[in-house]
Amino acid sequence: MRVIAGELKGRKLASVSGNATRPTTDKIKEAVFHMLGPFFDGGSCLDLFSGSGALGIEALSRGMDEAIFIDKSPNAIQVIKQNLQTLGVAEQGEVYRTDAFRAVEAVAKRGLQFDLILMDPPYGKVDYIKLIGQALESGIIKKGGFLYAEHTPEEALPEESEELRIIKQTDYSHTIGITIYEKL
């Protein structure tokens, strides 16, 4: 794994050992960030289900000021911290071991809002409608901010609403789909 573009372009990332995590491919990372920007003029990112931290680190490399990384796995937390340290961006990241629902609650209590929220959970293990609903209800997504969800094509995701507009929804294969929302 490597960083695709930006300040850290080409730098290698450590990955989480075992089969518990499924890294987003370089092809999908490149396509997703091309749709989102492809570069950011500052801002903050919440990377839920971080794994190695590759998506949040890509956002930092492309101009986000800061990122909060969330994962339940102790191994993933160790790898995220290692990647941030190795790449020299540890001061731009906060890393927490907890589940996504608790993380949303915790950042909302801190009054934080994000320009970008990344959701790449283990497929079939998360209720996207419930989690995205909680993120909207808690007010952690800035107006004009983006929410990225990687999922299987069969998984149920929220429809467009008064609060969310789908700016891209596509399937990359029979196993991988992405949906990008914008907060209205």
* All structural domains of the chain with their residue ranges: 26-183
User: What's the fold here for domain 26-183?
Assistant: Rossmann fold (3.40.50)
* pLDDT at res. 27: 80
Q: What is the Cα–Cα distance from 36 to 106, expressed in whole angstroms?
A: 26
Mean pLDDT by 10 residues, the chain (184 residues): 94 83 75 84 97 96 98 96 98 98 98 97 90 97 96 90 93 86 96
State the burial class of residue 169 (Cβ atoms within 10 Å of its Cβ: 0-12, 13-18, 19+). middle
pTM: 0.94
